Amino acid sequence: MTQIAKAVGVSSATVSNALSGKGRVSPKLVDKIRATAAELGYVPSNAGRALRTGRSNVLGLVLPDISNPLFPQIAQAMETAASNAGYGILIADSRGDVSTQTHAIARLIERGVDGLIIIPRRGTRIGSVNCPVAMVDTPSTPGNTVSADHWEGGEKIARHLLDLGHQNFLFVGHDPASNVQNDRIGGMKSALGNTNHHQTIWVETLVREQGDKTSLGLIDHVNSGVTAIATTSDLHALRVLTELQTAGIKVPDQVSVTGFDDLIFSSVVSPALTTVHMNMTRIAEIAIAALTDEIEATKAHTQKIHDKNGTADQQTVKADTSKVSMELMVRASSGPAVSPATPNPNGETL
Amino acid sequence: MTQIAKAVGVSSATVSNALSGKGRVSPKLVDKIRATAAELGYVPSNAGRALRTGRSNVLGLVLPDISNPLFPQIAQAMETAASNAGYGILIADSRGDVSTQTHAIARLIERGVDGLIIIPRRGTRIGSVNCPVAMVDTPSTPGNTVSADHWEGGEKIARHLLDLGHQNFLFVGHDPASNVQNDRIGGMKSALGNTNHHQTIWVETLVREQGDKTSLGLIDHVNSGVTAIATTSDLHALRVLTELQTAGIKVPDQVSVTGFDDLIFSSVVSPALTTVHMNMTRIAEIAIAALTDEIEATKAHTQKIHDKNGTADQQTVKADTSKVSMELMVRASSGPAVSPATPNPNGETL
DNA sequence: GTAAAATGATTAATCGTTTAACCAGTAAAA
DNA sequence: TTTTACTGGTTAAACGATTAATCATTTTAC
């Protein structure tokens, strides 16, 4: 910037004003400065700016479980939204461990992030941090900034199966401690009403008790009359689908299978999975907007107070819209229910 | 830091020296400074440090296709390795588009990253950038810093199938323009020798010609004697597996199916996929080490020269080890070959 | 006993940007 | 003509850390 100033013959303050458009600089001079800046290949120093303004224009993205297959979608959406708002995304992985997560957050803070986006898992408590935090979990979680309306997603998929004539359901979830999973299953149950039969199994519980390679015991359930298996994740839907297919049970002819999240593989398997799609792009935009708004506000506030200890009680950022509708993706894995009276046409008895 | 200096009654330079351990400070004073630093909750300002030292301690991770299902593994491994080396990871997504990628790289540079890790896709050319670049692609790519030994992975999986008695192979790749895919298939072919029959189909070509939902036409291949279908990705293996199962072809009884990458779902489908696992942790460690070494070297070099234009010819960073062995994961989707003489027991003729 | 060397700390400059405060002109208003 | 207001710019002080240069002391060496 000093170089530009020297080249044009003005002070560096004028260059700054010209480039930022803040002060009063004559139009001709602005053009001249812009031109020489481009000519000299000027790249603003983020460090200098960050030092002066106290803001790094970087947000931290904290994922308790980075191996989550939904992560690519999340990261992509967040990166795009942040980039559009002039922010970069610094990632932190806490591998599901709480202490590692605390550590990861601390590292991000030390790096000077202006805000945090946290995708919590289970009952993660966010320790008090002195920067704005957007939390993306599920609408029923206290402090949730924005997320997909998992409950509504559950309702949609259950109604779809009801419309197909199903009356006997099996829900497959991963982990009863997850807010998201509970909302999804809650939504499904609420759509079912009292007249339909349903049970729930949790994969993690089975795996913990019977090992990684455990069968989900789906054949018994099918033989006992279940015609629709609704899972809380495409990953489980895939497990269910292949387990059924291996057992010779036809999907969707004998049993319908549904997933959640519309993961990358959902549309390429046979039969393609009926699932619920999450508008991650919109969720990311809302989260980032809420965060940047708060950052701006904090800045203005700090200018007057100039004492950060006074604002330590802030929890998570609020957004205008806190839930984003999910979209039902009807594909080949769901079909009309076979009459419960009809015995299993395959005669498979295990 | 000034506060600490004032509190202890020394100059801020002494505080800096005490905390960094660089200058000469008496042990007692070091202890005292450390104590007051902790007491005051001192967090070093990255901006200040970055401004003075010219290094941000942040690396950029560029992924041309962030929706790649391998991304979680990559991101996690890179983040951990970088974190251990004292660096943060700023992500950039270029959504497969070349111009977007150039833009993304420029953004990272502007943010002041000290180095770049680039996972290229297809024949991506890295434009000259004035910071160290580590490229993770495949050993046969010029400029590759480190990657999995995809060729060897192909050999391993082909030998595994050969050991099971297979003689008629179908290779399923995504895209003939990918270096990684070509190496994988190249390795498989080289292990086969001349006595075994093989063909290759490319999914992207089929999708482009016949639409997204196209069948891979596997049944024809199976009927014509193929007993082993080896894919270059678990995603394709999954597609193959479910397409076969839907058609009533038993895996692995009639046909063996193998994948690549050991993606998250590979072990939970039925039958679990035989695949090749990539030691991403090690790859990340090597890449980050090569990058940080170069950063250190550049720093030392710059101190003397102090003219960055002179070092513009550097391409990508070199590592001691440029390929990391892949591990064969034998699971349930591969089994002994049925005799090619035996007609298809299912009698399925399409 | 004096020169040389090591010790432990300080000074002050520097990185690049922003911004409040100030100033010299010129134009409009009284 | 004097006062007021605006215009287009400059000055200089931050922001927080690092580090070369310097300076008293004290220790060691010959």
CATH code of the domain in which B12 resides: 1.10.260.40
A1 strand C contact, CB < 7 Å: yes
Q: Are residues A218 and A172 in the same domain?
A: yes
Q: Are A36 and A2 in contact (CB under 8 A)?
A: no
Q: How far is the CA of A154 from the C1' of C7 (A)?
A: 73
**CB-based contact (8 Å) between A129 and chain B?**
no
B343 inside domain: no
Which residue has the least CA–C1' distance to nucleotide D10?
A11
CATH number for position A193: 3.40.50.2300
Domain residues for the domain of B303 are: 56-131+280-322
* Residue B16 beta carbon within 7 A of nucleic strand D: yes
Secondary structure of residue A101 in the 3-state scheme? helix
Residues in chain B: 350
Q: How far apart are CA B9 and CA A144, in angstroms?
A: 46
Taking alpha carbons only, the member of A117, A146, A110 closest to residue A132 is: A117
The reply to whether the CB atom of residue A177 sits less than 7 A from any atom in nucleic acid chain D is: no
Nearest CA in chain A to B273: A242
User: The dihedral of CA B80, A235, B92, A85: what is its sign?
Assistant: negative
Of A225, A247, A278, the residue at which a domain comes to its end is: A278
Tokens standing for A325? Answer: 């509708």
Residue B343 contacts A, CB cutoff 8 Å: no
- In terms of CA atoms, which chain A residue is nearest residue B77? A93
Look at chain B and report how many structural domains it folds into. Answer: 3
Cα separation of A63 and A322, whole Å?
19
Beta-carbon separation of B264 and A213 below 8 A: no
Determine if strand D comes within 7 Å of the CB of A35. no
The answer to whether the Cα torsion of A130, A134, A137, A138 is positive or negative is positive
Residue A67 to residue B73, Cβ atoms within 8 A: yes
Residue B23, chain A, CB below 8 Å: the answer is no
Eight-class DSSP state of B274: B
Strand D bases with any atom < 7 A from protein Cβ: 7-12, 14-21
Q: Is residue B145 part of a domain?
A: no
Residue B250 is assigned to a structural domain of this protein: yes
Residue B45 and residue A51: Cβ atoms within 8 Å?
Answer: yes
Helix, strand, coil percent values for chain A (each to nearest 5):
45, 15, 45
B335 interfaces chain A, CB cutoff of 8 Å = no
Hey, what amino acid is at B190? S
**∠ CA A145-A148-A152 to the nearest 5 degrees?**
125
| φ, ψ of residue B276 in degrees (nearest 5) | -125, 130
Pinpoint the alpha helices (H) of chain A: 2-8, 12-20, 27-39, 46-53, 71-84, 98-110, 150-163, 179-192, 203-210, 218-223, 234-246, 280-305
Cα–Cα dist A90/A111, whole Å: 9
B324-335, pLDDT tens digit by residue?
999 999 999 999
What are the phi and psi torsion angles at B327 (to 5°)? Answer: -115, 130
Q: Which of A44, A67, A79 sits opposite B93 (nearest CB)?
A: A79
Name every chain A residue with its beta carbon within 8 A of the beta carbon of B204. Answer: none
Residue B76, chain A, CB below 8 Å: the answer is yes
> Do both B265 and B290 map to the same domain?
no
Q: Measured between alpha carbons, how far is A231 from A216 in angstroms, rounded to an integer?
A: 12
CA–CA distance, B9 with B128 (Å, rounded to integer): 49
Task: Using alpha carbons, select from B22, A342, A109, A104 the residue that is nearest to residue A119.
Answer: A104
Task: Give the three-class secondary structure for B101.
Answer: helix
pLDDT less than 70: residues of chain B: 66-67, 122-125, 127, 299-314, 339-350
Any residues with CB less than 8 A from the CB of A97 and at least 6 apart, and which? none
- Domain co-membership, A159 together with A272: yes
Q: Does one domain contain both A38 and A65?
A: no
**A281 vs B: CB within 8 A:** no
Measured between beta carbons, the chain A residues lying within 8 angstroms of B265 are 69, 235, 238-239, 265
Q: Which two tokens mark B99?
A: 């111009």
Closest to B129 in 3D by CA, of A43, A99, A263, A234: A43
Q: Which residue, chain included where needed, has tokens 């986006």?
A: A117
Q: Which of A319, A239, A325, A323 is nearest to A278 (CA)?
A: A325
Closest chain B residue by Cα to residue A233: B265
DSSP state of A251: T
Residue B213 lies in a domain: yes
CA angle centred on B338, ends A216 and A350, rounded to 5°: 25
A213 touches strand D (CB under 7 A): no
Question: In this structure, is the CB of residue A345 within 7 Å of any atom belonging to strand C?
Answer: no
State, as a whole number of angstroms, the distance between the CA of A26 and the C1' of C21: 20
Q: What is the pLDDT of residue A339?
A: 67
**Secondary structure class of A242 (helix, strand, coil):** helix
- Could you tell me which of A199, A203, A198 has the C-alpha nearest to residue A162? A198
Asked whether residue A242 falls in the same domain as residue A273, the answer is yes
The reply to whether A9 and A62 lie within a common domain is no
Helix H or strand E encompassing A96: none
From chain A, the residues in CB contact with B47 under 8 A are 47, 50-51, 54, 56, 112
Q: What distance in Å separates residue B59's CA from the closest CA in chain A?
A: 10
Please indicate, yes or no, if residue A142 is contained in any of the structural domains: no
Q: Are residues A158 and A184 in the same domain?
A: yes
- Classify residue B346: in a domain, yes or no: no
Q: Which of B45, B242, B272 sits opposite A269 (nearest CB)?
A: B242
Could B66 and A51 be called an inter-chain contact, meaning their C-beta atoms sit closer than 8 Å?
no
Q: B199: which strand partners?
A: B170
Nearest to B168 by CA among B240, B237, B247, B222: B222
Please report, as a single letter, which amino acid is at residue B69: P
Which residues are within 8 A (CB) of B75 and not within 5 positions of it... i.e. 6 or more apart?
A66, A71, A75, A91, A93, B61, B89, B91
Contact A168, A223 (CB under 8 A): no
Strand C contacts in A 47-76 (CB under 7 A): 47-49, 51-53
Give Cβ neighbours of residue A9 (< 8 Å, ≥ 6 apart). Answer: none
Contact B214, B243 (CB under 8 A): no
Alpha helices in chain B (DSSP H): 2-8, 12-20, 27-39, 46-53, 71-84, 98-110, 150-163, 179-192, 203-210, 218-223, 234-246, 280-305
Do B181 and B236 belong together in one domain? yes
- Measured from the CB, is B305 under 7 Å from any atom of strand D? no
Among B13, B328, B137, B79, which Cα is nearest to A60's?
B79
Residue A344 in domain: no
Q: Does A307 touch chain B (CB under 8 A)?
A: no
Same domain, A318 and A289: yes
The answer on B181 and B104 residing in a single domain is no
Reported as a single tens digit per residue, the pLDDT across A220-241 is 999 999 999 999 999 999 999 9
- pLDDT tens, per residue, chain A with 350 residues: 899 999 999 999 999 999 998 888 999 999 999 999 999 999 999 999 999 999 999 999 998 776 678 888 999 999 999 999 999 999 998 777 788 888 888 899 989 999 999 998 765 667 677 889 999 999 999 999 999 999 999 999 999 999 999 999 999 999 898 899 999 999 999 999 999 999 999 999 999 999 888 899 999 999 999 999 999 999 999 999 999 999 999 999 999 999 999 999 999 999 999 999 999 999 999 999 999 999 988 766 654 433 334 344 457 999 999 999 999 999 999 999 986 444 444 544 43
Residue B94 lies in a domain: yes
Whether A158 and A243 share a structural domain: yes
Burial class (CB in 10 A: 0-12, 13-18, 19+), B342: exposed
Q: Are A198 and A248 part of one and the same domain?
A: yes
Helix (H) or strand (E) holding B133: strand B133-135
Among all strands, which nt has the closest C1' to B14 (CA)?
C9
For chain A, how many residues are written? 350
Q: Which nucleotides of C are covered by protein (CB under 7 A)?
A: 7-12, 14-21
Residue B260 has a pLDDT of 98
CA distance B146 to B83: 19
CA-to-C1' distance for B24 and C8, Å? 6
Tokens 């580590």 belong to B134
Q: Is the CB of residue A126 less than 8 Å from the CB of residue A137?
A: no
